[in-house]
Structures are given as structure tokens and as C-alpha cells.
Structure 1
Amino acid sequence: MKPNTHDLLARVAPFALYMAFVAVLEIPALVSGEPLSPSFVLALYPVKAALVAAALLTFRKFYTDLDWGSLRRPAPTTLSVCGGIAVFVLWINLDLPWAVQGELTSYDPTQAAPGWALALIIARVAGAVLVVPVMEELFWRSFLVRYLIDRDFMAVRAGTFTLFTFTATAVLFGLEHQLYLAGILAGLAYNAIYMKTGSLAQCVLSHAVTNGLLAAYVLATQYWRFW
């Protein structure tokens, strides 16, 4: 069976929008060899986060598998939090030269015009903790993991994997990130949480914990390359 068009679009469109903004930053530099101005890069992130958030809100009624009530279950929620912490620890220790795609870029809001740094930090943290985990988990776990099993992906039970879908989606998830090895391990961790709990909300929670700790670490150390 073909998937419901709205269910598919609701999961793919926010992710595609996010990746389009990534392309806006990457393609001009690849073509001209000149990086975009830091002020433009800084200003683009709040726009990207806001538009992706708007897309998620627009399609919210189609996220029937985003089961927030499952977070009230202590055991799986503890697993998700611990998984998020473990991924964070791995992430900050895997910025090795051979584990990075290209030159690791950074998002340094202190380079902004006076008075704008705080607003950019708030936007970056909100995007990383509240928007990106929902957007990515809807695409990778809710959609792609199940779509690779059956085109009618909504008919596939949440948390269902084959060996191929478990490994392939983790690798693809990793390749989405500059720190590809850390990304692959994160993909494996979030897939394992999805398989163990059968809850997309638990994956979002784990992902948000990772990103929240990473944001706190970046702000405390000013090691902007992790942003």
C-alpha cells in the first residue's frame, strides 16, 4: 500500500526544509571557495529554527505516534535520559581528525553585533533542544526506519527493525553530521531506545537530553566547534 500523503509529508517536509538551509550555507562556499560572512551564518539559524518549528506545528495533527504520555513511565524514561547522557559523552570525545567530515564549522554567537549574542544563544539552544530532536526523530525513526520495511510505514509497529534498517539508518543519521562517527553511534543509541521502548517520544527525549547537555557544555567552555 502507498503511505498516506499527509503522514509522509508531515515527516519529510520539516527535515527537508532544515536540510535546505544547510545547503544554503554549504553550496556557495563549495562553488566559490569563499565562506559566507559570519554575520549571515549567525542570523540564518534563528530563521531556520523558526521555520522548521512552524512546519512541525502545521503538521502536528499527523504526529499520532508521538506519544508524550509514555514519558510518565519511569523505567523507559530513565533509559532514555541515560542514553542521551551517554551520547553526549561520546560526542565531545569523538572530534578526532579522522572522524570529522571536512573542516569542523562552529557557531559562535559572540561574533554577533553588540546586543545580539544573548538572543542568538537563546535561539540556538531552543532550536537544538526543542526543535531539532522532534524534527529529526520524526524523519529518521517515525518515517525512514519504518518506510524501509513497508511503504505503508504507519502500519509498521513503532520500534520495529530489521538488521538492515537498524544499521542503515544509523549510518545515514551519522553522515548527516560533520562528526560522522559520533553521529553513527548516536543513531545506534536512539534506534536501540526506539526498539526497546517502542516510543518515539522517548527517542525525542533522549535526543533532547544530548543536545541540551551539549549546549550547556558549549556555553560553559566556549568550545563553539560543537555548535
Structure 2
Amino acid sequence: MEASADSDIPAGVPESKRWLFEGEAPPLPRGIWGRWPALTFVLPFVVYMLVGMFEPGPPKTFQPAKPGETPKVGKLGHPIGIVGEDGLRRDADGHVIDAETELDENGYIQMPYAYYPRVYTIKIIATVVAMILVIPGYLSFPLRLNWIGIAVGVVGVALWIGICKLGLEQRLLVPLGLGSLVDMGARTGFNPLEQLKENPSWAYQFLAIRLLGLAIIVPIIEEFFLRGFLIRFVMDIDWFKIPFGRVDKLGLITSVAFPMLMHPGELFAAFVWFSLVTWLMIRTKNIWDCVAAHAVTNGLLGAWVIWSGDWWLM
């Protein structure tokens, strides 16, 4: 879509949407980052998510069905994860497995939980490489911070922890038959100080890597993807011409709905927290304030988890 001759508003934009383009959008950097503007916002996030698909979670422990309950059986009719009448333990596909084989929540064989630190470390390295490749795109947004972003981050962590501890998802959604949705959002809850206690050096190294990902990497890639790209993309195909912080109803819905889908196990906390940061985005119109708020919340969350032992929050 070409820009009109007398303004920066793309030609063909209906009158009802012209206000979205009023103001100055972040300039496109030179080179490949300008030719493909989505690259800056999408590449690191996609790398992070793709590698994260291989992260193993805590193994599922299956128990024999209680009286009146229907036993969980696999494709061949054998009970999953427990010793059957034939004296054998099987996975959901009916394959015979030994007592050490770990199963996921659906009863399928998964990578051992002990491999989580390695996979997570690879994920962070790959994401950092992707971030380095798109630095020119990051620098197209003036690096300035407002104290409001820090304040939002502090308030946000209190809201996140408090709402998560209420367990509203278990209380309200599980009775509606949405337990599988809630389970999809379960955190890995890997405690390196416990799981890696036999190797203290690696335990603290991985803890540092985990906090780096939590408080630095994730805030940058998530905010640039969600607020820098996705919210603007759903508003118009020429999204990169929309000034940051300008948002319509569809953008507002996206700013909350997408994060809620990404955090099904913390649905209500995600609704409140991301709504708060969307307000910050509209208030300061500065993506780095959103990154700062996210970083403060996640950093304080990490500190809380280490202090309290609530590793289920990570």
C-alpha cells in the first residue's frame, strides 16, 4: 500500500482509521531490517518459542484409578504409566517402558526432566544470537525510560504473585471442564538449587542463566513482539507506519487476549498484568518503558521465588 502524496498516511486507509497513523512512527532502519520490518519483532520471539517446545516438564506420575473412576488407558487399552495386570508398565502408545522412563501429562515418553537446564540454556543462547542480529531494529526506538515504567513493574509483581496464589484457575475453570487448558500453562518449576545440588557450580550458573532469561531476554522479545508488532499488525497491514502507543479496540483486545492464551495457567494474573502494561504503553508511548516494567516484574518475581521457594511460579 503506497503512502498518499500529502501525508504519511497510507493511501486507501478509510477515514475512520486515519487517526491511527497521525504522529511519528519509529523510523525503519536501513538494510534488511527496513525491507522486512517484522524481522526485528518476530525473529527472536519465534526462536525462543521454537526451542522452548523441546523443554521437558516435570514427569507425570500416574496412579491407579480409585473406585468409581475411569482408569486412564492408552491406545491399546492398557493402563498408562502404572503396572498393568500383565505386570508391565506402558506409555500412551502401548509401548512397554521401564520404571525410569518419564511420561508427560498425556502419557507419552518425554525427554528426562534433568535435561531442562541444557535445553533452556540452548534456548537463551539461540535467542541472544537472534537479538544481536536485529539490534538495528531495536535502536530505531529511542532508548529512554520513565519512572512510571519502574513503578508499574513493582506494582505488577505484587499483583501477579497475589492473583496466582489465589488459584482462581483451579477454582473457576477446572469445575467447568477446562482443567486441560489450565494444565497446558503449568510452569516447569525447575529448582536448580535442589535438582542440581550435587553440582553446586552448575546449579548457580544455571540459576544466573535462568534469571537472565527471565528478567532481561523475555521482557525485550515479548514486548517487541506483542506491542511492537502484533498489536499494530492486527490494526492495519501497514502496521510499521502506526506510531507506537496508538491503539484501537482490536489492538486493545489483542494486547490482553494473546498474553492470556500464552499463560493459560495464570489466566487472571495475565489479564490484570498485561492490561496494566497496555495502559503504560498508551500513557508513555515508549516501548522501553514497557520493557522496563516487564523486566522489573520478572526480576522481582525471580527474587521472590528464590526467597520463598515458590518455584511453581517459574
| TM-score in terms of structure 2 length | 0.65
Superposed CA deviations along residues 117-149 of structure 1, whole A, max 9, x for unmatched, are 100110011111111111001100000111111
Superposed displacement of residue 25, structure 1:
2.9
Residue of structure 1 in register with 2:189 after alignment: 106
CA distance in 2, matches of 1:30, 1:222: 24
Structure 1 stretches lacking a partner, 5+ long: 72-76
CA distance in 1, matches of 2:36, 2:139: 12
CA distance in 1, matches of 2:55, 2:133: 25
1:53 aligns with 2:128: yes
2:262 is aligned, of 170, 176, 182, to: 176
Contact 1:128-1:211 within 8 A present in 2 as well: yes
DSSP 3-state at the match of 2:126: helix
Structure 2 CA distance for partners of 1:36 and 1:180, relative to 1, 3 Å: farther
1:194 aligns with 2:263: no
Residue of structure 1 in register with 2:204 after alignment: 118
Contact 2:281-2:290 within 8 A present in 1 as well: yes
Structure 2 CA distance for partners of 1:15 and 1:116, relative to 1, 3 Å: same
Residue of structure 1 in register with 2:154 after alignment: 85
Contact 2:168-2:268 within 8 A present in 1 as well: no
Structure 2 CA distance for partners of 1:98 and 1:35, relative to 1, 3 Å: farther
Contact 1:6-1:62 within 8 A present in 2 as well: no
DSSP 3-state at the match of 2:104: helix
1:63 aligns with 2:138: yes
Residue of structure 2 in register with 1:216 after alignment: 303
Superposed displacement of residue 159, structure 1:
0.1
Superposed CA deviations along residues 36-88 of structure 1, whole A, max 9, x for unmatched, are 422111221121112111101111112244321x21xxxxx221111111110
Structure 2 CA distance for partners of 1:30 and 1:19, relative to 1, 3 Å: farther
CA distance in 2, matches of 1:124, 1:99: 26
1:166 is aligned, of 252, 257, 265, to: 252
Residue of structure 2 in register with 1:74 after alignment: none
Deviates more, 1:154-163 or 1:92-101: 92-101
**Aligned length, in residue pairs:** 221
CA distance in 2, matches of 1:34, 1:97: 29
Residue of structure 2 in register with 1:153 after alignment: 239
Superposed CA deviations along residues 198-220 of structure 1, whole A, max 9, x for unmatched, are 10011000000001100111111
Superposed displacement of residue 30, structure 1:
5.7
Residue of structure 1 in register with 2:312 after alignment: 225
1:133 aligns with 2:208: no
| TM-score in terms of structure 1 length | 0.88
Contact 1:87-1:186 within 8 A present in 2 as well: yes
CA distance in 1, matches of 2:105, 2:240: 38
CA RMSD, Structure 1 to Structure 2 (Å): 2.3
Where relative contact order (Cα < 8 A, 6+ residues apart) is larger, the structure is 1
- Work out the percentage of aligned pairs sharing the same amino acid: 24
